[in-house]
Amino acid sequence: MEAKPGALERKKSGADLLVEHSRNPRHKHEEDVPEDADVAMPGGSPECGGSVVIYLKGDADGNVEWLSWTGQGDTISMGATSIVIERILNEGLSMQEILELDYEEFVDSLGREVIGSRTRHATLGLSTIKGAVRQYQRAGRSGGRAAV
């Protein structure tokens, strides 16, 4: 009898994905931070699972030219930040599409059973990215570096 894909497989793959991204984060700066970012947006705190700084460079059409980050924290917060940045860049999301990303759908995509009660950890990166986009938009895409 063949095993059917189910919750157990999704749980394992969600946990595996978070661990993989936590151990080998994508688009993360370990030492040098980008000097030409339009926005450097801090988020979170070490007491609640992690802290990140999101670096965003936009273009004149309201798209993301590049996105990167620095941070430290637990497996969920660091893995989820890496995952969401990779998804945004791979899918070529506009800034408006980033603002429309749904937190609940993102947690579901990671595996709610893996995240458990640590949804704030899982959404740290996404909420900070959204803050960076809003800051970029408030600055009127002036090209100068904006930080909060």
Chosen CATH of 29-147 out of 3.10.20.310, 3.30.1220.10, 3.90.1010.10, 3.40.50.150: 3.90.1010.10
CA-nearest of 87, 78, 124 to 109 is 87
Q: Name 83's Cβ contacts closer than 8 Å, sequence gap at least 6.
A: 17, 18, 21, 110, 125
* Predicted TM-score of the model (pTM): 0.83
- Structure confidence by residue, pLDDT tens digits, 41-80: 999 976 667 899 999 999 888 899 999 999 999 999 999 9
